[in-house]
Amino acid sequence: MKIFANRNPRVRNRSRLETRPTDCRFRRFECGQALLELALTMPLLVLLLLGAAVAGRLAYAAIETSNAARAGVQYGAQNHITASDYPGMETAALEDAPNVSGLTATATNFCACSNGAASSCAAGDCAGARIMEYVRVNTSAAFDPLIHFPGLPKTFNLSGGAVMRVWQ
């Protein structure tokens, strides 16, 4: 007794369906469809890639600007002498971010009493409390992306700031 794998009467000549050529002669309307889809989506993919590159450069510049302020206050917070060395704090901040063009830094110091009162850093300001000295460095830079997208500004203003207590 012979057992046949396919007894479906609707499929008459299975071998002819399996050996049919798959080139464009039999599918005239589908020939070139993949090329057309690629041509339509490629500009969108390139725009997406360029947008990611610009966003990455912007994030890098923002992080560098913020880290430069932190480097400036770390220099100033070493002792009371470096706390009043404003050019030294600004130089430390600018040298920390050499890849960010147009970076500016401003350094200041201020005092406060340990009980929360204001102080002008004079010796007798805080009656019954300690004078605590702080340094502050603010950095700013203007970031100009290489590619300008509609709806976004031509330049981005980046800023960073840090405050640290002077080691006493």
Number of domains in the chain: 1
- Tell me the pLDDT tens digit for each residue of 50-61: 999 999 999 999
By C-alpha distance, which of 66, 64, 87, 65 is closest to 75?
87
Q: Which residues of the chain have pLDDT under 70?
A: 1-30
User: Is 0.85 surpassed by the pTM of this model?
Assistant: no
Domain carrying residue 60: 31-165
User: Assign residue 128 a region: left if phi > 0, alpha if psi is -120 to 50, beta otherwise?
Assistant: left
Determine, yes or no, domain membership for 18.
no
Domain for residue 67, yes or no? yes
